[in-house]
Amino acid sequence: MRHPAVPWVLPFAVFMLLLAVEPKLGLPPVAGLTIRLVIPALAVIFFSRHLLALRFTSFGPSVLVGIGVFVLWIAPDVLIPGWRSHWLFQNSVVGTLQSTLPPEARADWVALTLRILRAAILVPIVEELFWRGWLMRWIIKPDFEKVPLGTYAPMAFWLTAALFAVEHGSYWEVGFLAGAVYNWWMVRTKNVNDLILAHAVTNACLAAFVVATGRWELWM
């Protein structure tokens, strides 16, 4: 019998594993981007599709939350020149600024399309199933299925936000704020699909900003 956490956790685990392993394979950019998009997407299709639905508690507000998180994410770097070069954001613990999109792929529209699809569709699904759908509930009670989606508990709320920050390396401070906003929205909507929508809007806005401005370091 399959463990109940599998649909919530497996796609994220596959995604993170490929994020670590694929760059070491020395594949051409398009091949690497294809692998990092297709394999986690297959994990979603085969294991998690029953968790997804185009049913939203708050469609319009979720879009606005997504836009708000995007603004929050870029604000320090746009408003304060050199903000991200401070040692707090580039050090041996959190790492350094480095885009995952190789320079030779930045003028390749196939590579850019694959990267945008991953950011705007795949990442919101795998991350929200894991962070807000599973982890926030598991911290409250390991038998997480007995914990309704969006249940508020201070330790689960803030620990999830902190771990979400850690995942985002040099962008840890905005990652923490974004995690807190997404957690709050989960508590409000109690619907993981609203969170996927909000996260997708954030990432789509960020992708458009990156491509328009050439701020490739924002694509970790």
> Residue ranges of the domains in the chain?
6-218
User: Tokens 């836009």, residue?
Assistant: 67
Mean pLDDT, the chain, integer: 95
Average pLDDT, integer, range 25-35: 92
Q: Which tens digits make up the pLDDT trace of 173-195?
A: 999 999 999 999 999 999 999 99
**How far is it, in rounded angstroms, from Cα 208 to Cα 120?**
10
pTM over 0.85: yes
For residue 148, pLDDT over 90 is answered with yes
Give the model's pLDDT for residue 108: 93
Long-range contacts of 190-193 (CB under 8 A, 24+ apart): 190/57, 190/148, 190/149, 190/150, 191/55, 191/56, 191/57, 191/58, 191/149, 191/150, 192/51, 192/128, 192/129, 192/132, 192/133, 192/149, 193/52, 193/53, 193/54, 193/55, 193/56
Q: Which tens digits make up the pLDDT trace of 57-108?
A: 999 999 999 999 999 999 999 999 999 999 999 999 999 888 888 888 899 9
Give the model's pLDDT for residue 1: 64
**How far is it, in rounded angstroms, from Cα 78 to Cα 69?**
14
